[in-house]
Structure 1
Amino acid sequence: MLSQFLVFTAQTKKKITSKFLGFGRQSSSTAAKAAEKGEDSFLKWFLLLIPATTFGLGTWQVKRRQWKLKLIDDLTRLTTAEPIPLPLDPYEVNNLEYRRVKVRGRYDHSQELYIMPRSPVDPEREAREAGRLSSSAETGANVITPFHCTDLGITILVNRGFVPRKKIRPETRMKGQVEDEVELVGVVRLTENRKPFVPNNDVERNRWHYRDLEAMAQVTGAVPIFIDADYGSTIPGGPIGGQTRVTLRNEHMQYIITWYGLCAATSYMWYAKFIKKI
C-alpha cells in the first residue's frame, strides 16, 4: 500500500512539473513574439522617415527653384531697364546693385587698376561651350579706371571692360585711352568678399583678384562707387565693355528629380516590405 502511494505521489508531481514547464515555455514564446512585433513596428515607422524626408527635401527644392527664377527675372529686368542718372549719395547707390545708370565725365588713365585673371564675358561662346571641361577663351584682365563725373563733381571707379593679356599695359592700346569727356552707361556693382582659394589683392603690384571698393577707392582717391561699363560704351581700341555676369546657377531641377526619385523608390520599398506582405 505504501509503495503504491509513493508511486502515485511521484507521478502526480511529475505531471504538475510538466504543466508548469509547459506554461513557462508558452509564456517565453509569447513574450518573444511580442518583443519581435514591437521591434518590427519600430523599424516600420523609423524607415518611413526616409521617404518622408526625401519628399520634404524635394518640396524645399521646388520652392528654392521658384525663388531662383524670380531672382533671375529681377536681375534681367534691372540690367535691361532704362538707365537712370547716378545718385550722388553712396548709401543710395548701395541699393541699386545691377541697376543701369548713366554718367558723364573724363577718365584718369594714370591710375588704372587691373582685376586678373579674367576671361571675356561672351554669352554666345559660353552657350556653345556649356558642359565642356575646358574653355577656349583667352585670359586677360578687367581694366578699372577712375572716372571724374563732371556733373556730380565726384570721381568713381569704372570697369571699362576686358583686355587680353598682351594688351594690359596702357601703351599697347593708346587709341582707346581717350582724354575727352564721354558719356557712358554702366551697371552698379557693390564690393565683394574674397572667396575661398582666391588670392589676396596685391595692392603694391596692382594685381587685384576681387572687387574691394574701399581699398580701390583709397588707392585712387575715388569714392567707393563702382560701375561696369556696358558694351555700348566700348571705345574703339580700348577695353571691351559689357563684362557683367548676371547668370546664376540654377540646378534646382536636378535636385528636385533626385529627391522625388528617391522618395518614390524608398516609398515602394517600404510598401513592399511592410504593407504588401500583409
Structure 2
Amino acid sequence: MLSSVKTHSSTEQIITCADDVYKDRESLSGTIEPVLIIPIGTFCLGTWQLQRRKWKLNLIAELQAKSNVPPVDLPLELSELEDLEFQRVKMTGSFDHSKEVFLGPRPLLVGGDVHEAGSGLISSGQSGYLVVTPFKLADRDLTVLVNRGWVPRKQKNPESRLEGQIEGLVEVTAVVRRGENRAPFMPNNTKGSPIFTFRDVPTMARMLGTAPVFLDATDTFPGGPQGGQTRVTMRNEHLSYMMTWYSLSLATSYLWYRRFIMGKALM
C-alpha cells in the first residue's frame, strides 16, 4: 500500500513539473527537445529495470539449482570455492566449541526464508544468533568456519545447550558462503567482540585462527543450533520499479503529445 502511495505521489510530481514547463508559451519552441528528456529518461529507466529483473530471475534460478545439487567433497584447492557459493559440500572433522562466536541478531530461517510461526526454539517473532564454530578437518591440516545454526537469545550461552556441543569426529554437510559487506545503517563489528553484526569472514578467520572459509551447516545436531540457515530467496521488486518508470514515461509522453503535437492546453 505504501509503495503504491509513493508511486502515485511520484507520478503527480512529475506530471505537475511537466505541466509547468508546457505552459510556458513564450519559450515553446526552445522547450520541445528538453521536455522530451522526461519521457525518454523514464522509459530508459524502465528498460533498465526490465534487464535487472531478467538478471535477478536468472540468479534466483541458479541459486535454487545449486542448492539442489548433491553435495561434493570440499575441494583441496580453496581457490575453487570462489565459484561454488551456495553449493553444498561434505566434510569430516571436529568442532572447537571453545572458540565459537556469534552472528546476529538474526531471525530464524525455515526452508530458506524467515520463519513466521512455531513453538519452542522456533517461536514466532523471536530473534537470536547464528553460532559460528571452527571446524578442524580430519583429512588435512585445515580449519574452517562453520555456521552451525540458529539459537534464541536465551540459549546464546553454550552452558545452556551442552547436549548440542558435539565432541569427536562428525560428518557435516554445509553450504559454501562468501563474506558480506556491512549494510547501510548497520552497526559495525566491534573489534575483539565475539558478536558480529555481519559476515566479516577475514576478521572472523584472524580472530579464531582459521582459513577464510565460511560454510552454513545444513543439518541440525540433537540439542544443538537449528541448522539450514542459508537464505535461498532474494528480493525481486524490479517488476514494480519497471511498471513505475514505464507509467511515468507514458504519462509524460501523453502530456508532451497534447502540448506540442495537438497544441491543446492541459486541463
Q: 2:132 aligns with which of 106, 131, 144?
A: 144
* Structure-2 change in CA distance of 1:204 and 1:126 (3 Å): closer
CA contact (8 A) 1:90 1:224 kept: no
* Structure-2 change in CA distance of 1:127 and 1:64 (3 Å): farther
Q: SS state of the match for residue 94, structure 1?
A: helix
Q: Which moved more, 1:163-172 or 1:196-205?
A: 196-205
Give the match for residue 15 of structure 1: none
The structure where helix makes up a greater share of residues is: 1
The percentage of aligned residue pairs carrying the same residue is: 47
* Structure-2 change in CA distance of 1:170 and 1:126 (3 Å): closer
Q: Tell me the distance in 2 between the aligned counterparts of 1:128 and 1:273.
A: 52
Q: 1:257 aligns with which of 243, 248, 251?
A: 243
Q: 2:231 aligns with which of 227, 242, 245?
A: 245
Give the match for residue 253 of structure 2: 267
Q: Which runs of 4+ in 1 moved over 6 A?
A: none
* Structure-2 change in CA distance of 1:128 and 1:268 (3 Å): farther
Q: Which runs of 5+ in 1 are unaligned?
A: 1-35, 130-134
Q: Tell me the distance in 2 between the aligned counterparts of 1:227 and 1:126.
A: 19
TM-score under structure 2 normalisation? 0.81
Find out whether 1:277 has 2:233 as its counterpart.
no
Deviation at 1:199, TM superposition (A): 2.4
* Structure-2 change in CA distance of 1:197 and 1:275 (3 Å): closer
Q: Tell me the distance in 2 between the aligned counterparts of 1:258 and 1:98.
A: 33
Deviation at 1:137, TM superposition (A): 2.2
Deviation at 1:192, TM superposition (A): 2.0
Q: Which runs of 5+ in 2 are unaligned?
A: 1-23, 118-122
Aligned pairs, number: 236
Q: Tell me the distance in 2 between the aligned counterparts of 1:203 and 1:182.
A: 31
| Greater Cα radius of gyration, structure 1 or 2 | 1
Give the match for residue 100 of structure 2: 112
Q: 2:70 aligns with which of 61, 77, 82?
A: 82
TM-score under structure 1 normalisation? 0.78
Q: Tell me the distance in 1 between the aligned counterparts of 2:203 and 2:136.
A: 18
Give, as a single letter, the amino acid of the residue that structure 2 aligns with 1:65: R
Q: Where do 1:34-45 residues align within 5 Å? A: 39-45=27-33
Q: Where do 1:121-132 residues align within 5 Å? A: 121-123=109-111, 126=114
CA RMSD of aligned residues (A): 2.3
Q: Where do 1:6-85 residues align within 5 Å? A: 39-85=27-73
Deviation at 1:128, TM superposition (A): 6.2
Q: Where do 1:208-223 residues align within 5 Å? A: 208-223=196-211
